[in-house]
């Protein structure tokens, strides 16, 4: 019974660490007892004498820009909060080998594997059982987004909007719950979406991991496993501090930007073809660009930006969707196809 469970759930100011309950309002700790019914508990102990997390802080400063380090701590702190007042899906993106998995593994050591779901964006869109997997989880981390289109964002918006979730379970009764599992998608690219609504873009938080680490050069093998537990305990204290600050500001993140800014950035990242056209071509109804040449230069663009390659037929379909028409031209004995009304920028 959802109403009974809500009555049993302790107030949100109480944070369940492995060894005690921390009252974020008073700064005091409480021993566990039958009076406190938590469905999740952090993997890490509360240890105010641990000495901080200098190694993790160094890692964070290497994997994101200086101004984005605070976001890594805020996401961790926000994951300790058993509600979803800041309605964001966190898209962490960048080329392979740039620290996204390192960050997700540090988060998992903090939260605990049992408290992390791993449902992909496509699963949450189309699998009617997937939503239930987020029940009583602190985070949902999908470590690789597919190169696909978000066609139905309804469940994603509900999961991050403090809506009552209805989700089916195999061979069990339908489940109703309020989600507080923070949704994090990590991948090399940002997926396109068919949802152009304000309600979608207000739920998007974009965070780039711009650097690359190569084994044998600047990457450290088994980095997260080698971190002592005192580092994770120190990380927990910093996350707790950021949670306190978030509570004071109504859970608005430090690097929050407007929905209009998010939309512009999202479209540029999720549709590299549109960005390529904008940067390298212009319309001219007296000219054309041969399809083979266009595909070659677009592929070079994707490689330079460290984005996934696209098949030529996929590029052709997207160009058609964007309103560009193809026609055939004969030069000598050879037949060429070209996009009409398009030329390269000088």
Domains in the chain: boundaries: 2-266, 271-344
> How much is the pLDDT for 147?
56
Q: How far apart are CA 262 and CA 315, in angstroms?
A: 25
- Give the pLDDT of the chain (346 residues) as one tens digit per residue: 455 566 678 999 999 999 999 999 999 999 999 999 998 999 999 999 999 999 999 999 999 999 999 999 999 999 999 999 999 999 999 887 899 999 999 999 999 999 999 999 989 988 889 999 999 999 999 976 655 688 899 999 999 988 999 888 877 888 889 999 999 999 988 988 989 899 999 999 999 999 988 776 777 888 999 999 999 999 999 999 999 999 999 999 999 999 999 998 998 888 889 889 989 999 999 999 999 999 999 999 988 877 778 899 999 998 998 889 999 988 778 888 999 999 999 8
- For domain 2-266, is the CATH number 1.10.3720.10? no
Task: Put the strands of the sheet holding 204-208 in their side by side order.
Answer: 116-117, 139-142, 182-187, 89-93, 204-208
End-to-end CA distance of the chain: 66
Neighbours of 304 (CB within 10 A): 8
Rounded Cα distance between 63 and 208, Å, is 9
Q: In angstroms, rounded to a whole number, what is the distance separating the alpha carbons of residues 141 and 233?
A: 21
User: At 72, phi and psi to the nearest 5?
Assistant: -60, -40
Helical (H) or strand (E) element with 29: strand 28-30
Write down the number of H helices and E strands in the chain: 12, 15
CB 298 within 8 A of CB 290: no
H-helix segments, 192-258:
198-201, 229-248
Phi and psi angles of residue 297, each rounded to the nearest 5 degrees, phi first:
-70, -35
* Strand duo 28-30 + 149-150: pairing: unpaired
pLDDT of residue 170: 79
* Architecture (CATH level 2) of domain 271-344: Orthogonal Bundle (1.10)
Planar angle of CA 336, 337, 343, nearest 5 degrees: 110
Is beta strand 326-331 parallel, antiparallel or unpaired with respect to 334-344? antiparallel
Owner of token pair 């009617």: 128
* pTM, entire model: 0.86
């Amino acid at each position: 019974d959802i109403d009974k469970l809500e009555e049993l759930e302790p107030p949100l100011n109480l944070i369940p660490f492995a060894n005690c309950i921390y009252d974020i309002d008073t700064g005091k700790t409480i021993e566990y007892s039958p009076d406190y019914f938590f469905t999740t508990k952090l993997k890490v102990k509360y240890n105010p004498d641990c000495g901080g997390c200098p190694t993790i802080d160094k890692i964070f400063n290497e994997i994101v820009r200086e101004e984005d380090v605070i976001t890594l701590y805020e996401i961790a702190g926000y994951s300790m909060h058993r509600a979803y007042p800041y309605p964001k899906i966190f898209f962490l993106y960048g080329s392979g080998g740039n620290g996204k998995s390192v960050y997700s593994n540090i988060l998992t050591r903090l939260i605990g594997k049992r408290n992390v779901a791993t449902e992909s964006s496509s699963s949450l869109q189309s699998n009617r059982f997937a939503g239930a997997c987020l029940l009583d989880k602190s985070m949902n981390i999908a470590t690789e987004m597919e190169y696909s289109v978000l066609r139905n964002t309804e469940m994603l918006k509900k999961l991050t909007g403090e809506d009552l979730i209805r989700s089916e379970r195999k061979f069990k009764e339908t489940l109703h719950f309020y989600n507080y599992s923070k949704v994090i998608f990590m991948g090399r690219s940002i997926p396109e979406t068919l949802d152009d609504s304000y309600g979608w873009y207000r739920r998007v938080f974009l965070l780039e991991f711009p650097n690359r680490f190569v084994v044998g050069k600047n990457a450290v093998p088994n980095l997260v496993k080698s971190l002592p537990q005192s580092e994770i305990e120190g990380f927990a204290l910093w996350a707790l501090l950021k949670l306190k600050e978030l509570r004071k500001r109504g859970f608005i993140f430090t690097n929050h930007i407007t929905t209009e800014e998010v939309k512009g950035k999202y479209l540029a990242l999720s549709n590299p073809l549109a960005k390529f056209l904008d940067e390298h071509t212009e319309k001219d109804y007296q000219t054309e660009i041969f399809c083979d040449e266009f595909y070659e230069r677009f592929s070079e663009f994707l490689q330079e930006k460290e984005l996934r390659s696209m098949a030529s037929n996929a590029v052709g379909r997207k160009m058609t969707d964007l309103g560009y028409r193809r026609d055939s031209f004969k030069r000598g004995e050879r037949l060429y196809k070209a996009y009409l009304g398009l030329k390269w920028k000088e």
